[in-house]
Structure 1
Amino acid sequence: MKSLRRDAVLMALVAVTVTGFVLFALFEGDPHRQSQVFWCAQVPMDAALAYGAWRLRALVPHYRRFWTAIAFAGSSFTVGDGFQAGYVLLHPAIASTSGTAVQSAFFIVGMLSNVLACLLFPHGLRSARERLVFWLDATTVLVGGGAMAWVFAVYPVTAPADRVTASITAALVVVGAFAATKAALVPRPPMARIAAWPMVAAPVVQGLVAFLPGPFQAQDRSYVFMVLLLPSLLIAIGPRIQERVVRADGPAPAVKRKPYSLLPYGMIAVTFAVFLISLPDDVSTRFWGATAGVVVITALVAARQLIAFQDNVRLIRRLDVALDHLTDQEVLLREQASTDGLTGLANRTHFTDQLQQHLEAGRSPSVLLIDLDDFKTVNDTMGHAAGDALLVEVAERLRATVRADDLVSRLGGDEFTILLPGTGSEDARRIADELQSVLAGHTRASIGVAWARPGDEPATLLSNADIAMYEAKRRGKGTSVSFSDEMGARTAADAEITRDLATAVDAGEFTLVYQPIVSLDDLRMTGVEALIRWNHPTRGLVSPAEFIPLAERSGHIVAIGAWALREACRQVARWRADFPGAYDLTVGVNVAGRQLRSPGFVDEVAAVLRDTGLPPNQLSIEVTETAVLDDEESSAALLGLRALGLRLALDDFGTAASSLGLLLTVPVTTLKLDRSFVESITTVGRQAAVANAVSQMATALDFSSVAEGIETEEQRELIRSLGYEYGQGYLFGRPLPPSQVVARLEALDGVVV
């Protein structure tokens, strides 16, 4: 309401009206001056109606036809009243509020356009029954209004000129009654009540004033001009008020109506009153009795209907209360279905639904996918209760950090997502970095950042964020990475390789090569390490560095590793049978952490040894430090393997964070120094120091020691001087196919390689 009082257009219309009132009073007793002011004041009012309605036709497309008709009516009034204003200015003898034939014609056209507007605008009535009830009520009101107009405006008048004026006045009353009916009965009126009632009141006021006898028929009184000008103000301000309401609150919402309307019953009472007033004085007593009977019976039936309506309303209210209770239960169930039970955040379903809505609305959202680093370690070492407490704490920190419109969700496990509506890549990355700082005191997280592009689906956006999150893991965890097309292309290629890995074992695409392991004292080949190679049917030779991580991530490493173990044991058992010099040859087979944790792995190894005939002490299972780090399942598997009599080697030793602790918990027999400590051992003092420390630990713990990556005689001599027993590297031989290993085996009977 405050904004309406400050509206310049409304203030101007009121100013025109007040100015007219003042001039009417100043020109009291000069009716022709008063009529000039009256008609001149009408023109800006009419123009305001036309202009306001025309603006609303574009602002509210749903009611376009309605406001077009109103704008046309305002234009007709403007032309007609403009002509009349010019006419009275040029003819000072004219002193009347009644228009000429031209003005009346444009007025009638405008009124017909208003009636058309009332007929055109959508009723919001969906069923045929609703439409029937509406038109029955509306017709009742129209008939009652028409009867009243006829009796008061037409019937008492005899002069033809006055009949025209009276008919126009009657039309005003009927249009006002009809507009009021629609505003009262339809669920979706084209105007808010604050804007509609001034426009409805305007024709009613103008029509009723014309019916009143006595002082209001005196055309030379200033208050008559004032009252007759007031409807013009009312009808002019309606569209302007409606425009302000629409711009502030949107189109008028659906109005909840009562199950019944009192308007038709009111019009029945009015019609009976008009009928009784218009009866002649010489009506017979018999007619009065019949008339009284009709009136009383109609009144009683109407009263009975209203009581029935009230009973129905009470019943409907009880049903509404019951439905509200059911609705509360439904809301609770819906909340439970869309909320994560542990953290209270949105769940995957709710998050996906909201993301879909933002994408469809074109709000260009961004998504953060957050995965807690090493969360499994928390559960394994501190228990699931501690893990749950960490998840709740992370959820609270995420919720407290993001903006009010952002949506935080828990997808499951230790994965969280955040929906950032209308946020570009730079802002999304900045928010991700802020979250890293917020979480740093409790845990580390890898965060993938992705933003919507035209045509993206929720699955696409989440997939991009997931790709970026795994890239953050690959870069060392505890960081945020934004998605790029290069990542997507690499992931697509990885997905294709992963798909091909599923059938590679059955298709016989894998082969093993064997790299010699020699005694550093006499350079005799004492063992081999089995290394897998993949001959892809279309890609050719695929590097293990490319497909082994994908095989581990997808789980295909279990089947691939099982094939490699059996094939290596079979091959070495065959060499031992064919070459006496290979009797003590050991074979090292790399085993991934996922293999160790797979159920029945120890039994599987025992079955391979039994089927191939390879003695357990000739098989060395090689595992990396990270594969068995703080892992109870892996440790149990290693204990089972040692119980079979196998050798266990820690491969790439020295590269993990907890190498020394593992020596006390993992039952290893061999330490293999990682090649990174060998490549510059002759020039970098620190590498020589680390290599020396590893050799001393192996000697102290009674472990065998193997140095990897030896490529020069100088490296061999230094490694040997540090106490290492065995060496492996290009100096002693590259990985060889089985046919070339045979040549080495033939020379094992005392021949130095």
Structure 2
Amino acid sequence: MDHLRRDPVLRGLIGLTFIGFVLFFVFSGQPDLQVKTFWLFQVPLDAALAVGGWRLRTLAPARYRRFWSMIAFAGAAFTVGDAYHSLSNLIFPTEPSLNGGLVQTICFAVGMSSNVIACLIFPQGLRTARERFIFWLDAATVLVGGGVVAWCFAVNPVGGSHTDRLTAALTAALVLVATFSATKVALIKDPPMARMAAWPMVCAAMVQGVSTFLPGPFQTLDHPYVYAIRLLPSLLIACGPWIQIIVLRVGDPSSVAKRRPYSLLPYGMIMVTFAVFFMMLPMAASSQLVGATIGVVVITCLVAGRQLVAFHDNMNLIGRLDVALGELRDQALFDGLTGLANRTHFSAETVRLLDAESTLLLIDLDDFKTVNDTMGHAAGDALLVTVASRLRGSLRETDVVARLGGDEFAVLLPRTTADDAGLIVQNMLNRLAEPIVLLQHTVVTRASVGMTVARPGDDPSTLLSTADIAMYEAKRRGKGMWVTYTDEMGSRISAEAVLIRELDQAIEENQFVLVYQPIVRLADGEISGVEALIRWNHPERGLVSPIEFIPIAERTGQIVAIGRWALQESCRQAAAWRAASPDTVPLYVGVNVAGRQLRDPDLVTDVADALAAAGLPAGLLVIEVTETAVLDDEQSHATMEALRDLGVRLALDDFGTAASSLGLLLTCPVNSLKLDRSFVESINTVSRQAAVATAVSQMASALEFATVAEGIETVEQAELLQGLGYRYGQGYLYSRPVPPDGIVRLRSALALSVTGIEGGVLLESGR
């Protein structure tokens, strides 16, 4: 509305018309001057209609070009006719009359015909037969009502106030044009004019038509309001196109408002028809006729009212259904917790926006599980909401951010080079690293980000896959960073995928073997036990080191099946050695158990079943676990407690390499410590390693733990470790890992004192 009030053209037209109204009153009692003034002010209003229609011919959508061309032509015809008649009145004084001469009448008829054709030719936008049927049903109701009005007041006027058939015909045409225009504007979905522009023109035609058959006193030319009533329609018609120009230039809020699924216009025409019908009743009509007429009208109004109430109820139901559908659509496309796009919506947006310069990011929060475990899921949800807000705040409006599930997010950066994407990612990580207060605790969030740049032919699934590879590479490098995908990463992952498939086959075909490394008593070289070490007897590559496949098996969960087999085979072999040498001290066997196995609820059952199947006493089985496998893990601690209750011994392997080793000594239910080889390799030359080895031995002695030193390769190392209090050791000094039949030979050989014997001799015998 502010744009309408400020528009200079509309203000000029209204001001011009107001001046005309003033002059009508100034020249009151002088009909000749009033008539000349009327025609002089009529001409610029006609010209405004022509110019406005012509401008809209290029501004409006192409499908309405013919409509506005016809309106412009009508305005031009009105301008020519009214200008000719105005000049005639000025040059050739005649009797004052608001009715034009022959030229003006012809031009008016041509212009009105152009308007009628314009209303007929503009597209209705009705696509289905049902829509067309409903439109023409309502249109017929309105047109019949308009025809009744035209007939009663123009062709056959009440009281016979008009005898000029030409005027009557033109008046009827005006009424019908106004009626049909109103019908199309109100009933079709996409009219050529916004409502605020169309209704002034519709009202103008109605006012102009009605004004021609007002009773005699209203036709007297010395009344100023007669001229005002006749000039007002011209103003309304002229304003219509200019209002539409403003609507197209600045937008019309009302044009996007939701339209009712039904129109009130046909009901209004029914009321108008009834009013005309009552006016047509003779004054001496019988009471029966009047009563019946009133009954028909009342019943019709009641039925129409009931139908409108039903329409209103249906609208409410449809409105609630639209709300429900909107909620379902949001649930289908957006994440309920963060409000971000979900995986489905993100994939669709990626397909729509993906180009050769797009970059995709995959974001995974580091150590998010710790927040859930220590602070609860409510705190975890609050953290995710905050992270989502910060992600949105660090991105541009054109970027798409989604939550794929859990603590994993994805971002699409359309038309963004790798360099620009790097700046965006770094800013994102900086924003995420700002402290967050959760339940009165301050949390610093870090994330690992994988970035991949789109290539020709890439699709959303390919980009997500490559970004996922880069994200895991970021985690492998230490977390809290971003890494860009390279083909080398893809090759490595492809090789791992092949390895995973081959591991499945190895599990099914039992391709694994165990070798055993002796654990000796340092005092006399006697073998006390062995550590079972797994090897993969690959059908093409031969023996594969566990370093190559154990980490992958742990990540995929295949370690559970592999570990179950290793337990069963180790127990069977230990029982076989025990049966073969019943008179000697039986060897215990140490089996490595990964963290993934400790979290397996079936592990305790698997151990019990393996012992029972082999007939091996539980005390001859040692489960070796690493510090990282049991670090702050309640499930792992519970499993170890259950294993100890079975009578199985527990050893803390690679001791001294984790950050919380000392705390574990108080909580972890182990029986022995195995000093990591990194503290043994330079124990003779590096004083710090000797100090650590000494401290571990003293703590173990105080806690009554057995101690085993790993990685012993020289006699000097063995002697020093024995002097520090270590009772047992293992390493290449005594033997490399050997097959089961080599343990018997080694047991005899290692019973000899190692003093003065070259380690190489023993190593050779162990091959």
Q: Is the 8 A contact 1:79 1:106 kept in 2?
A: no
Asked if the contact 1:76–1:110 (Cα under 8 Å) also holds between the matched residues in 2, the reply is yes
Distance 1:658 1:246, change over 3 A: same
Which deviates more, 444-453 or 73-82? 444-453
Match of 1:439 among 433, 436, 439: 436
From 132, 137, 141, give the equivalent of 2:145: 141
Query: What is the CA–CA distance in structure 2 between the aligned matches of 1:473 and 1:176, rounded to whole Å?
Result: 74
Query: 2:675 touches 2:710 (CA, 8 Å); kept in 1?
Result: yes
296, 300, 304: which one aligns with 1:301: 296
Q: Structure 2 CA distance, aligned partners of 1:136 and 1:209?
A: 25
Task: Call closer, same or farther: CA 1:294–1:534 in 2, change over 3 Å.
Answer: farther
- Measure the CA separation in 2 of the matches of 1:101 and 1:539: 105
Q: Which runs of 5+ in 1 are unaligned?
A: 59-64, 278-284, 380-385
> What is the TM-score with the length of structure 1 in the denominator?
0.75
Q: 8 Å contact 1:192–1:245 — kept in the other structure?
A: no
CA distance in 2, matches of 1:593, 1:566: 18
Matched, 1:197 2:199: yes
Amino acid at match of 1:504: A
Aligned residue number for residue 61 of structure 1: none
The 1:706/1:521 distance shift into structure 2, 3 A limit, reads same
Q: Map 1:450-465 onto structure 2 (within 5 A).
A: none
Distance 1:608 1:125, change over 3 A: same
For residues 537 and 4 of structure 2, the distance between their equivalents in structure 1, rounded to whole angstroms, comes to 80
CA 1:266/1:580 → structure 2, altered by over 3 Å: closer, same or farther? closer
Match of 1:5 in 2: 5
**Count of matched residue pairs:** 719
Kept in 2, the 8 Å contact 1:372–1:443? The answer is: no
Q: Distance in 2 between matches of 1:377 and 1:630?
A: 14
Tell me, yes or no, if structure 1 residue 234 matches structure 2 residue 239: yes
Q: How much has 1:623 moved relative to structure 2?
A: 0.6
Q: Secondary structure in 2 aligned to 1:195?
A: helix
Residue aligning to 2:595: 593
Structure 2 match to 1:46: 50
Q: What aligned pairs does 1:280-679 form with structure 2 within 5 A after superposition?
A: 289=285, 297-311=292-306, 313=308, 346=337, 351=342, 355=346, 362=353, 369-370=364-365, 372-375=367-370, 378=373, 387-388=376-377, 390-391=379-380, 394=383, 415-416=406-407, 427=424, 430-439=427-436, 441-443=441-443, 447-449=447-449, 474=476, 479=480, 481=482, 484=485, 494=496, 497-498=499-500, 500-520=502-522, 526-535=528-537, 544-575=546-577, 584-679=586-681
Aligned 8 A contact 1:367 1:420 in 2: yes
CA positional deviation for 1:661: 2.5
Secondary structure (helix, strand or coil) at the match of 1:588 reads strand
Q: Distance in 2 between matches of 1:320 and 1:230?
A: 37
1:647 Cα shift?
Answer: 3.4
Separation in 1 of the partners of 2:447 and 2:236? 67
**Partner residue, 2:68:** 71
Cα separation, 2, equivalents of 1:43 and 1:619: 107
2:96 alignment counterpart: none
| Residue 262 in structure 1 maps to residue 257 in structure 2 | no
Q: Which whole-Å deviations, capped at 9, do the CAs of 1:709-728 have from their partners, x for residues lacking one?
A: 44566655654554434444
Structure 1 stretch displaced more, 709-718 or 508-517: 709-718
Point out the more displaced range, 120-129 or 165-174: 120-129
SS in 1 for 2:256: coil
Worse-superposed segment, 576-585 or 649-658: 576-585
The whole-number CA distance in structure 2 between the counterparts of 1:721 and 1:94 is 139
CA RMSD between the two structures: 5.5
* Pair 204,338 (structure 1): closer, same or farther in 2 beyond 3 Å: closer
Relative distance call for 1:180 and 1:607 in structure 2 (3 A) is closer
- Residues 90-101 of structure 1: pairs in structure 2 closer than 5 A: 99=103
Instruction: Give the 3 Å change call, closer, same or farther, for CA 518–332 of structure 1 in structure 2.
Output: same
Q: Distance in 1 between matches of 2:539 and 2:368?
A: 37
Paired amino acid for 1:674: D
Question: By how many angstroms is 1:170 displaced?
Answer: 3.4
The change in CA–CA distance for 1:473 and 1:334 in structure 2 (over 3 A counts) is same
Deviation string, structure 1 residues 614-666 (Cα, Å, up to 9, x no partner): 45444322111122234454334434444555432111111223212322333
Letter in 1 for 2:376: G
Residue type matched to 1:648 in 2? L
Please tell me whether the aligned partners of residues 512 and 534 of structure 2 are also in contact (alpha carbons under 8 angstroms): yes
1:437 Cα deviation after fit: 2.7
**Could you tell me whether the CA contact under 8 Å between 2:368 and 2:407 is conserved in 1?**
no
Residues 596 and 634, structure 1, Cα contact 8 Å, conserved in 2: yes
CA contact (8 A) 1:13 1:45 kept: no
CA distance in 2, matches of 1:233, 1:456: 57
d(CA) in 1 for partners of 2:448, 2:548: 22
Post-superposition shift, 1:450? 6.9
In structure 1, how many angstroms separate the alpha carbons of the residues matched to 2:100 and 2:252?
37
Task: Report Cα offsets for 1:244-299 as digits up to 9, x if no partner.
Answer: 5745566343236478943232342365378569xxxxxxx9xx758x97676344
Separation (CA, whole Å) in 2 of partners of 1:53 and 1:540: 83
Q: Contact between 1:149 and 1:170, CA under 8 Å: does it hold in 2?
A: yes
The alpha-carbon distance between structure 1 residues 602 and 687, as it changes in their structure 2 partners (threshold 3 A), is same
Q: State the alpha-carbon separation in 2 of the partners of residues 136 and 71 from structure 1.
A: 25
2:197–2:241 CA contact under 8 A, matched in 1: no
* 1:233 CA drift (Å): 1.9
Query: Equivalent residue for 1:703?
Result: 705
How far 1:235 sits from its partner (Å)? 2.8
**Matched-pair contact (CA < 8 Å) for 1:46–1:232:** no
CA contact (8 A) 2:364 2:471 kept: yes
Measured after TM superposition, the shift of residue 176 of structure 1 is: 0.8
Find the aligned partners of 1:449 and 1:264 in 2 and give their Cα distance: 67
Report deviation, 1:697.
2.0
Q: For 1:650, what is the secondary structure of its paired residue?
A: strand
Mean CA deviation greater in 687-696 or 599-608? 599-608
One-letter amino acid of the structure 1 residue matched with residue 535 of structure 2: R
Of 88-97 and 221-230, deviating more is 88-97
Q: What TM-score does the superposition give when structure 2 sets the normalisation length?
A: 0.74
Distance 2:7 2:689 in 1: 83
Aligned in 2, Cα 1:463/1:142: closer, same or farther, shift over 3 Å? farther
Contact 2:49 2:72 in 1 (8 A): no
CA distance, structure 1, for counterparts of residue 604 and residue 186 of structure 2: 83
Using the alignment, how far apart are the partners of 2:548 and 2:252 within structure 1? 60
Residue by residue over 1:496-528, the C-alpha shift from the partner in whole angstroms, topping out at 9 and shown as x without a partner, is: 644554443122232323344455566665543
Which shows bigger deviation, 298-307 or 250-259?
A: 250-259
Q: Deviations over 1:673-727 (max 9, x none)?
A: 2233345545554333222211222333343323334456665565455443444
Q: Which amino acid aligns with 1:662?
A: L
CA separation of 1:248 and 1:536: change in aligned 2, threshold 3 A: farther
Deviates more, 1:226-235 or 1:180-189: 180-189
How far apart, in 1, do the equivalents of 2:696 and 2:534 lie? 28
Partner deviation per Cα, 1:104-144 (whole Å, 9 max, x = no partner): 57525531332215672449995677446414422322422
SS of corresponding position for 2:624: strand
Q: Identity of paired residues, percent?
A: 38
Distance in 2 (CA, whole Å) between partners of 1:26 and 1:684 is: 119
Q: Deviations over 1:365-421 (max 9, x none)?
A: 977554654538946xxxxxx625644654675577676999999998xx4466879
Residue type at the aligned position of 1:309: A
SS at match of 1:253: coil
Structure 1 window deviating more from structure 2 (516-525 vs 331-340): it is 331-340
In structure 2, C-alpha distance between the alignment counterparts of 1:254 and 1:540, rounded to whole Å:
77
